[in-house]
Each structure stands twice: as C-alpha cells, then as structure tokens.
C-alpha cells in the first residue's frame, strides 16, 4: 500500500500541507480532489518522493526516504501536470526514457506498445515539440507506462501517480487515459490521481481524498465523500449531487447554479 503519516510540507514561509494522513491500496484508483491551492499536487509530489516533507511516506512497506532513486523508479511511475523537453526528441525517444536503460536501452517494442496503448500508434518518428499539448501529455503517459508496464512485479504492486492527467485532453482521450488507470488497478497495481473533473472522478475512482487548505477534509468511498454538504463546505458553493438510479454513481450538474 501507499501510506502517508502526519505529512507536512512548507515551501518558503507558506505551509502547504498540514499533518496529512493518506492511504491508497493496490487494486484501487484513489483520487485526490479539492479546490485550487488546496495542496493536491504537493501531496502527490510528497508521495512520490519528489519533495522533502515532515512525516513519513511508505510504499509497499518501505520508507521512501530510505530508498535509492532507482528503487523508487522500479516501484512507481509519476506523471506531472506538465513536462518540459528541451531537446529535439522524437515521441519514441521520450517514451524510451521510461525504460530501465533510458535512451541507451535497445528495447523499442515496449515503447511502441505504450504509444499504441495511449492511441498514438505510428507517432514514433514524430517530433515531440511539434505535437499538440494533448498529444504531448499522452506521450508522457506512455513514458510512465513503459516504466511500470507490469502492474505487479515480483508479487509486489506497482504504482501510477498521475497529476491531472486529463486536463488537456478531449473527452474521448480523457476516457482513454482513465480506462488505462482503471485497467492498471484492476490488474493489481495502485493508482493515485489528482482530479478536478468531479464527474469523471465519480465514474472511475474507488476512493476519494478531499483536501482543503492543506488538510484532509474527508476521505472514503465516492458515494460517502461526494455529497452536497462536502461540495458546499469545500468548494464554497451549493452544488447539488445526484445519482443515476441504475448505478448509484454520483453526478453533479453545474447547471443548477445558473
């Protein structure tokens, strides 16, 4: 499992996270939601080991502070909100960075499979810089998938940490990406994803952690967390939550505000 205990993060004089407890389990998609500035991305970066924090983060029972970077890389792949590529790489070269040997690794088959998996078959020779923002995001996802292609390795789950992975995508590719995340979890891996779209969160997440002002406001199953009361308290607006009778999946109609 992935666990954070009393995690606090301060950047300069600003306290971003305050004694956050967090738990994500393999076989599930755990979504982190909350308003802008609530600390969602900072929490994901702390969970990934990218930034220092006060507290403790463990991954599959290991304190990540004691792991070497290559050990962490073998256990989890991280997709940030945006990734800058300064060199004139092709899409294939960017994806190959996820291989154990990086660009020096001779395996082109897996990166090509990963590109096809994100609906970019045939994009191998394309210049990364000339791709659209959504295509670049999917190339980066293919790189992360290449890094942790098998959801389970040596009887231990691997993890996808995704920061707003659908923000720049059209609706079809939003579903493509979230279905990949769902599939990864269904095969035994763990997924932690920062989301803004509440309806997509309700459709794909097993568990939701709501952050507000750097603190965990509520955590639990989707139907327990995404309620009128939580929406009002966290987002500051009366946002009615309804359910589809056939599935009990919550959905939110912003038209109710107009």
- Please state, rounded to an integer, the average pLDDT across all residues of the chain: 93
Q: What DSSP line would sit under 129-160, residue for residue?
A: GGS-HHHHHHHHHHHHHHHT-SSEETTEE-EE
Rounded to whole angstroms, how far apart are CA atoms 28 and 188?
Answer: 8
Which tokens sit at 248?
């009990």
Contact 103, 141 (CB under 8 A): no
**Domain with 157 in it:** 2-257
pTM: predicted TM-score of the whole model, two decimal places? 0.93
| pLDDT tens per residue, range 179-226 | 999 999 999 999 999 999 999 999 999 999 999 999 999 999 999 999
195 Cβ neighbours under 8 A, 6+ residues apart? 31, 32, 33, 164, 166, 201, 205
In this prediction, residue 3 has a pLDDT band, given cuts at 50, 70 and 90, of: very high
Q: For 158, phi and psi rounded to 5 degrees?
A: -110, 170
Which tokens sit at 217?
């406001």
Task: Examine the pLDDT at 248 and tell me if it is beyond 90.
Answer: no
Lookup result for tokens 């954070």: 4
**CATH classification of the domain holding 15:** 3.40.50.300
Q: How many domains does the chain have?
A: 1
Report the relative pairing of strands 159-163 and 76-79 from DSSP bridges: parallel
């Amino acid at each position: 499992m992935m666990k954070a205990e009393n995690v606090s993060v301060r950047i300069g004089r600003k306290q971003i996270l305050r004694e956050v407890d967090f738990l994500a389990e393999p076989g599930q998609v755990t979504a982190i939601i909350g308003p802008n500035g609530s600390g969602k991305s900072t929490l994901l970066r702390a969970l990934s080991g990218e930034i220092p924090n006060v507290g403790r983060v463990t991954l599959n029972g290991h304190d990540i502070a004691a792991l070497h970077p290559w050990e962490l890389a073998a256990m989890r792949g991280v997709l940030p909100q945006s990734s800058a590529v300064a060199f004139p790489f092709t899409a294939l070269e960017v994806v190959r960075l996820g291989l154990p040997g990086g660009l020096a690794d001779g395996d082109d088959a897996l990166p090509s499979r990963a590109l096809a998996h994100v609906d970019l078959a045939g994009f191998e020779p394309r210049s990364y810089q000339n791709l659209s923002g959504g295509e670049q995001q999917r190339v980066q996802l293919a790189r992360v998938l290449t890094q942790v292609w098998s959801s389970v390795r040596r009887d231990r789950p691997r993890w996808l940490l995704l920061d707003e992975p659908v923000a720049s995508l059209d609706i079809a590719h939003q579903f493509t990406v979230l279905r990949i995340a769902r599939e990864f979890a269904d095969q035994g891996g763990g997924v932690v994803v920062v989301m803004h779209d509440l309806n997509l969160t309700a459709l794909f997440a097993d568990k939701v952690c709501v952050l507000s002002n750097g603190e965990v406001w509520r955590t639990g199953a989707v139907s327990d967390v995404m309620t009128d009361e939580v929406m009002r308290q966290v987002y500051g607006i009366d946002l009615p939550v309804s359910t589809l009778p056939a599935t009990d999946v919550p959905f939110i109609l912003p038209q109710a505000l107009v």
